Every structure is written in structure tokens, then in C-alpha cells.
Amino acid sequence: MTRLRPFAWWLVLVLGFGGPLLVGSLKIRSAPAFPQRAPRTQEEVLAAIPTQPGVLINIHRGIFPATGAITLLGQRATLALRRGLLGNTSAAIRWRSAQVLTQLRDSSALPELHQALKDWNPSVRHQVLLALAYLGNAHSVPLILQRLGDPQESETNRRAAIFALGKIGHPMAASAIEAQYLKATERPDIRLAAVTAFWDLRQRVPASRLRKLLHRALADDSSRVVRRAAIGCGILKDRTALPALERLLGGRVKMLRNVAAYVIGQIGDSRGIGILVRALPRVRSGRLLNNISFALQRLRSPSLWKHLKGLLTHRQAFVRLNGAFTVGEMQLSQARPVLERLLRDPNRSVRTQAIVALAKLGDKGAIPALEGMTRGANVAYRRLALRALLYISGAKRHRDMFFKLATKGAMARDAALALAARQDRRAAPMLFSIIRRRADALAWRAARSLPSALLGPLVSARLRQCMASNDLRLIPEMIEYLGARRLRRVERQLLGLLFRNWSRLKTRRVRHRQVMLAIMGALGKMGDPRLRTWLSYFARHRDYRVRMGALLALARLGDRGSLGVLVGALQQAADNRRPYLARLLGSLPAKTLRPALAPLLRRKDPYLALAVGAALHYGGEARNRQLLQGLRSNQAKVRQRARFYLSQGLDRPRLRQLVAMRRVERDPVAKAELDRVIRSHAPRMGVFQDFSPREVVLY
């Protein structure tokens, strides 16, 4: 036997005793890391969602974050929500995940949403169907049809499936929707959902097929179904629906009588004149009387004035009141002599309505009669008559009469607003006495429109006084009134006010956030590059709106990085947050926005394209291609979203743009959508708002 050398013995001993320890240490190092501690609060779950996709799989309902908090994360939360939708055993968590995905409108979640259509819980399936309706992907249609054909599916989910098929807008669904209407003889909610969905498909089905279903629905037992069908016939201008509408006009349901009168006028067929005239003796409702009158005006009835004169001279005061309202809205100048006689009517309400109607006519021949009302003892009539006179003429003698009555209380405010609307500088002292203490929106708007050499310096002095005493109540109104040019003199004071009150970045809910945003907005408009360092401090604030306001101010100061962050936020945001971001970006000029937003237009997300188009539209782009394409879309939800963007902050310049777009538009559905937006415009007339004629629109 060979004897081992001393070194060999030492090696055997080391390997014998140290080997297991060495191997054990290697095993310990190669073992998987110990899992992180499971989140225990809503805040911990919210913080983990962007970085831990599986965080929603093993949580309970009590620590699921608020929906609004998750949507602030935007599409960074999509992956965690997708896994929570399929992986959590709690139906409440799966439902909440589907709810947030509905607001995100992120198409990457489609595979999980399709799988969740087979969820055992009906509430989860219902929310998933709503999410698919918003996403509008044609691949969802066969799976939704399977839900619709399942005999064990709940009625609520059947309605949601029909709703989704209509909003997606694929012609494959037309036969199934039509079949659902025919089968649901005892379920009016299903029939209503089917008629609404079929209407949403009007671009993808033949017009004859659509009219056939609408005519069938006009004879439905449910008044809601009939109303939906009648409005559709009016938009299509379907003359063959007149017999059915005549039956509705003489029916028992009050709502349907009004709808029928409106739709007959909307169709525009002269045969409707006889239908409406024959219905007049049976009318016992002021609203129906007005609807019939408006319809006769649309149809250019030769007997319209004879009918209206009968209303104005009727023995019952209620009928005279409605007649005065109707001729005022129609602005019929031949009604002036009769309305002047109504100024002496024994009924107070009739006299008041006659004053308002004369103002709406805008006929200067009514001035002597209205001047007679200003000499009466009743103060309310005097105020209303003076406002009507200023609305019609604005003559100096009428302004002098109002100025003499401006002593105190409501009369002083009325006088200040009315005189300012006519650019009378005597309104400045009265306005300042209001705006120095109150956030009166009409008074501040009047002050901004009134040329005055002293009002600006007085507001500047008041702003300095408020900043010195840290009185924050009227800071936003004063900043908006003065503008960036005047505010340059108090730049340091505004910056000091900002840091004195809101220097803590960890505060989620900021007190007087509106004041803070107004100050940052003003600093951003000043164009001083030295302010970037100071405003970038607030770009790290915990509050979402404060961060966005600071980034916007930096972008106005030429910081391209901040503009890029805002553009990225628009891309990643949940769709319910995008209108706010689109308005922020839209406050920048379109020539600055177009290069920054161009990469987003290459993405195939229709809702993102609409948000980008809205920002460019708000920035001054007259004819935006993205919004026009949205109005022409086959998907009803996309059309609705485009209409929503166009209706936000609709002022006169944008209204003129929409009218020009409507003039050259060829797509009939896009024309109808533009008409709805244009009719929704309500001009801001301040004290003269009562005298603004309004078209009756019924949807």
C-alpha cells in the first residue's frame, strides 16, 4: 500500500470536511431569491403595478387601488390588469380589472378580454363586453355572438352584447341583432338595445333594411323603442314613416306626441303640414303646441302665422304665454304689433314673456313700446325692459336710463353687466366694486371685454394687496384679467407666493390647486428662461395636475424635454384622462405641436389619434384630419368620442371652423355628427342670455 504524503493527507481532510460546506454554499447561492413581501395596502399595490405584473393575482378586494389612481398610471398598468383579470380567484378583483381596462382602451389587452368572456361570473362578463365595445375590434365579433347565442346568458349581458356589436360596427352582426329584436317579444329592453345597435350599424347595412326594422319598431309596445325608431326616421328623412308618425301624434303617450311633431318637421315633407294642422284641435300641452309650431315653420306652412296669431289672442293666458314664447324663438317680425298689445296683458307672466319675445325679434320698431314699460312702477319690468332695449339698440339714452337706476343690489349688477356689454366705460367703477371682492364669472368676463384705462391698474394694485396678505381667493381671476404682459412687473412676487404656499412636493391633494396652476401658467407665458429652474422643481410634484401644469409652463418657456414628457403622457394615458391632456397641449400653438405629435399619428390606436387631433384642433389647426376621420368611422364609440372633442370649449372661432368643415363634408353620417356639435353651441351673452333664441333639438 502506497503511503500518502503529508500534503495529500491535508487535501483529503479539506475535501472531506470542507467539501459539503462548499457545495452547500454553492447551492445557497444558486437558489432562487426569497420572494418579495406581498403588498398589504392600496398604496403598496399601486406602487407595484408598473413594475410587478403579477401583483394583482393574489390580492383581495380591500387593497385594490381606486380606479382613478390606477388610470393615472395609464397604459403602464395594462399588463398587471391583464394578469389580474385572468389570474385572481376573486370575482370582485376580476371585475375591477375589467373596469379599469375599459377606461384605458389599450388594445394589447384584447387576448385576455376574449378569454374573460368565458368567466364564470356574469358581472365580469358584462364589464368585459363593455370593454370590447369601446375597443371596437372586429375579431371580437364572433366571440360576442357566442355570448349572445348562449341560452344560459343573463338578459343584462345580452343587452351588453348587443350594445357591443352595434358599437363595433361590423356588418357580420346585423343578422344577429335583427334576430334578437324579432325574438324578444316579451323583453322591451332587448328590443331597445337591438334597435339602437342596428342604428349604430347604419353605415354598414343597406338603407332599405334599416328602414324596414325602424318601421317595425314604430309599432312596438315600448315607448322607448318607438322613440328611438322615430328619431332615426327623422334623421333619415324617411317620408314613408309619416302615417306611423301621424298615429303617434294622436296617441296616448305624451312623450311620443312631442317626438312625432318634431320628427314630422325634420323629415321636411309638405304632407306633414296637413298632419300637424289636423292635430292642433286636440292639443292640450304647451310643449306640444310649441313643437307643432316649430315643425310648421320648418315645413314653411302658409297658414303658420294664422295659427300663431290665434295663440297670441287666445282667451286662456297659458296659451298666450306659449304663443309669445314660440314667436320669440322663431323671430317672426310680423308678430310685433300683437306682442306690443300683450305688454298690457292682465297676466304678469304673459307681459314678461312679451318683453322677452320683442327683444328676440330685434325689431327697432318695438323701442317705443318697450320704453313705455320703463316708466312703470314695477322695478322687475323696468329692469327687463331696459335690458331688452340695450339688446336691441344700445342707444346712449337707454344706457343713461339704466345708469340712473344703478343704485344698489341686483339692479347695480345688471347695470354694470349691461353697460359693459355695450362698451360703456361708466360700467368700470360698478364692475370693480364687484370683482374686488367676488369671483363673479359674468362680472370678470365683462371686465375683460371693457376698455378702461384705470381698471387694469386698480386690479394690479388689488393683486399686490392680496399677495401681501396671502389672500388667495381671487388670484386666478386677476391673473387671467391682467395677462402675462402686465404680470411681468410682479414676477418675483408670484414666484414667492408659489413657493411660500406650495413648496412641499409630497402633498398629493393640493389646497387651492386652481391658484397654483394659474400662477404657473402665468409664469410660463412670461417667456423668461430664468424661470425654468424654478418651475422644474414642481414638475416632480406628487399631484398629477400640478406636475402637468408645471410641464406645460416649461414647454411654453421652450423646454423641449417637458413637451416630450407631455406628449408621452398623452400616449400612455388612459383614454378618460386624454381630454385633459389634449386641452393642455392645445394651449400651445399648432406649429409647435405638429412636429412633437407626429410620431403618435403613426400608431394604429384610433382613440390616441383622436386625442392628438383634438390637441392640434385646440392649438389652431382649422381642418383636422384625425377628427374628421373619427366622425366618418364605422364605430359608433369613435364617432361619439370625436364629437365630444369637438364640442369642448366651443367658442365662435371654432364654431366658424366647424361650419366651414360642414359645408365641404360629403359623408352623410359625418354631416349629421357635425350638425349635432354645431347645434350644441350656446353663445355666452352674459346679461342678454335670456334674449338668445334657441333651436329646439330633440335626441
598 in the same domain as 535: no
Which pLDDT value is given to residue 34?
Answer: 38
Q: What is the pLDDT of residues 560-602, one digit of tens each?
A: 999 999 999 999 999 999 999 999 999 998 888 999 999 998 8
Q: Which domain range does residue 670 map to?
A: 559-681
Which pLDDT value is given to residue 31?
Answer: 40
660 in the same domain as 614: yes
470 is a domain residue: yes
C-alpha cell at 38: 406581498
658 in the same domain as 565: yes
DSSP string, 115-139: HHTT-S-HHHHHHHHHHHHHH--GG
Does the pLDDT value for residue 480 go beyond 80?
yes
Does the pLDDT value for residue 221 go beyond 80?
yes
Cα separations (Å) of 374 from 136, 355, 377, 381, 384?
Answer: 61, 11, 8, 7, 9
629 is a domain residue: yes
634 in the same domain as 529: no
Last residue of a domain, one of 484, 512, 544: 544
164 is a domain residue: no
Q: What is the pLDDT of residues 54-83, one digit of tens each?
A: 999 999 999 999 999 999 999 999 999 999
Terminal Cα-to-Cα distance of the chain (whole angstroms): 108
517 is a domain residue: yes
467 in the same domain as 572: no
Q: How many domains does the chain have?
A: 2
The mean-pLDDT minimum among 34-38, 125-129, 454-458 falls in 34-38
Residue 240 half-sphere exposure toward CB, CA atoms < 13 A: 10
677 in the same domain as 564: yes
Measured from the Cβ of residue 251, the count of other Cβ atoms closer than 10 Å reads 13
When mean pLDDT is compared over 131-135, 286-290, 433-437, the highest value belongs to: 131-135
649 in the same domain as 563: yes
658 in the same domain as 607: yes
Percentage of the chain exceeding pLDDT 70? 93
592 is a domain residue: yes
Burial call 444-481: b when 16+ CB within 10 Å, e when fewer: bbbbeebebeebeeebbebbeebbeeeebebbbbbbeb
Q: What is the pLDDT of residues 689-699, one digit of tens each?
A: 888 887 665 54
Q: pLDDT confidence of 410, banded at 50, 70, 90?
A: low
643 is a domain residue: yes
The residue among 519, 475, 529 whose CA lies nearest residue 498 is 519
Q: Please indicate whether residue 340 or residue 405 has the higher confidence score (pLDDT).
A: 340
59 is a domain residue: no
587 in the same domain as 527: no
What pTM did the predictor assign?
0.87
477 in the same domain as 523: yes
671 in the same domain as 571: yes
533 in the same domain as 489: yes
Which pLDDT value is given to residue 470?
Answer: 92
Which pLDDT value is given to residue 285?
Answer: 86
638 is a domain residue: yes
Amino acid in position 436: R
Which pLDDT value is given to residue 697?
Answer: 55
Does the pLDDT value for residue 336 go beyond 70?
yes
